[in-house]
Amino acid sequence: MTRASSERGAEQNPGVAIICGAGIVSGKEIMALELGEGLRTCGCPVTYVTSRWGNGDFSARLVKLGFGFRRMRLGFISATLTGDCLRMTADQMCRWPGLLWDYARFLRAEKPRRVVHTNWQHLLLLWPLLRPARDLFWVHDLVLDRPQYRRVFHLLGRRLGCFVAASKAVARSLYAIGIAPERVQVVHNGLDLTAPAAAVLARAADCALRVGIVGQIGSWKGHEDLLMAFGRLAAQHPSVELHVFGRGTEGYVGKLRCLAESLHLTGRVFWRGFEPDRAKAFQAIDVCVIPSRVEEAFGLTAVEAGLIGLPVIASRRGALPEIVEDGVTGRLCDAENPADLAAKLAELLSDADVRNRMGAAGRQRAETWFSRRRMARDFMRLLGETGGAGPAAS
């Protein structure tokens, strides 16, 4: 399929359109792709609308997967009074009439029965063309309880069939700004990810135990807490290694390296950099740690690790407790508490049977509750219900 034919739309009169701006491909964009593949597998035709701005990765993935899509001037609007924000907002507003024209043409040509939106800014731009019987908002981020967000989300709610929360934590944030529970449905994210059995067996046979953290490197992710916790355990577990996957700013990564040296962890911490195939990263470790310092809207890393068959140690923040079942698939620890994290790590590092049992339970839980197939089935049910009377409460 050529790019030109993709942008015209590979499928006529699709059942569902997914609006995903996708300047870069991150968690929300990955889920938008997973949903499309899941719905298509269920027999529901899908097309996409994405932005002309960005690095082009999302459009390239749509082409590779064989989805029809349209690119439009879906951009950035903000109330932040900085030069860059004001310039981007002004540019978008100048292009707003053209965007509405293009989107109206798309709706007339494709006639989607349902439209799934993934970004509140784009919803504001498309507000005049929203219809409660057709449009819903798939919310992937925790909504801050601030007056401006209350106003925006209540305004959007007038033109939406419902809000779909990616986790119970996201749903609670919607309730906190006054969205009625009957307007909110919870559909947990889901992935299609498998690990060869040989990779799991190879980890078990390796003499060195490997603790790992996977994802973007930043202060909010808790890397410093993990290093300090690992420093507490290093002497008691001389064969254990810490593997850090991901990239961050040069300054912050340098700060972490200095911290590792001050904790006498040189040679015990391995800086693996960015691994585009995340499954390979998880296959290279025995215990996955997610020491987040912030409220997580979902916790994609915890699901990925579970699908590989890894026990997970995660902070009690946001949606992470919805994924990690304490004492069954891993352990929950207090955020920003290296001592508690070290204690939970010690439990798993000292007992291979516990690790194996939790890893197996984690995989079963991930396959049951956080699979792409389950997510697609939930959306099919929801999209079938969304209409003039609105969906049933979750």
* Confidence band of 93 (pLDDT split at 50, 70, 90): confident
pLDDT for residue 158 = 94
Catalogue the E-assigned strands of the chain. Answer: 16-19, 46-51, 68-72, 114-117, 135-139, 163-165, 184-186, 210-214, 241-245, 269-273, 287-290, 312-315, 330-333
68-77, 269-278, 361-370: which range is least confident on average? 68-77
Convert the pLDDT of each residue in 314-373 to its tens digit. Answer: 999 999 999 999 999 999 999 999 999 999 999 999 999 999 999 999 999 999 999 999
pLDDT for residue 221 = 96
Residue position matching structure tokens 């978008």: 92
Assess whether pLDDT exceeds 80 at residue 394: no
**Mean of all residue pLDDT scores within the chain:** 88
The residue that leads in pLDDT, 54 or 348, is 348
* Confidence band of 52 (pLDDT split at 50, 70, 90): confident
CA distance 270 to 266: 9
Q: Which residue segments constitute the domains of the chain, with CATH numbers given? A: 3-191+372-385 (3.40.50.2000), 197-369 (3.40.50.2000)
Segment 114-136 shows an average pLDDT of 95
CA distance 135 to 109: 17
pLDDT for residue 194 = 57
Assess whether pLDDT exceeds 70 at residue 8: no
CA distance 276 to 253: 19
* Confidence band of 14 (pLDDT split at 50, 70, 90): low
* Confidence band of 392 (pLDDT split at 50, 70, 90): very low
Rama region for 189: left / alpha / beta (φ>0; ψ in -120 to 50; rest): beta
Assess whether pLDDT exceeds 50 at residue 197: no
* Confidence band of 76 (pLDDT split at 50, 70, 90): confident
Convert the pLDDT of each residue in 209-239 to its tens digit. Answer: 999 999 999 999 999 999 999 999 988 999 9
pLDDT for residue 203 = 53
Segment 148-177 shows an average pLDDT of 96
pLDDT for residue 4 = 43
4-13, 189-198, 236-245: which range is least confident on average? 4-13
DSSP H helices in 136-176? 147-157, 168-176
Look up residue 291 and give its amino acid.
P
pLDDT for residue 81 = 60
Assess whether pLDDT exceeds 80 at residue 79: no
pLDDT for residue 80 = 63
Segment 56-69 shows an average pLDDT of 93
Convert the pLDDT of each residue in 274-325 to its tens digit. Answer: 998 888 999 999 999 999 999 999 999 999 999 999 999 999 999 999 999 9
pLDDT above 90 covers a percentage of the chain that reads: 76
The residue that leads in pLDDT, 391 or 245, is 245
DSSP 84-113: HHHHHHHHHHHTHHHHHHHHHHHHHHH--S
CA distance 47 to 251: 41
Assess whether pLDDT exceeds 60 at residue 388: no
Assess whether pLDDT exceeds 90 at residue 106: yes
DSSP 268-319: TEEEEE--SSHHHHHHT-SEEEE--SS--S--HHHHHHHHHT--EEEES-TT
Assess whether pLDDT exceeds 80 at residue 139: yes
Segment 104-109 shows an average pLDDT of 96
Task: Please state the pTM of the whole predicted model.
Answer: 0.88
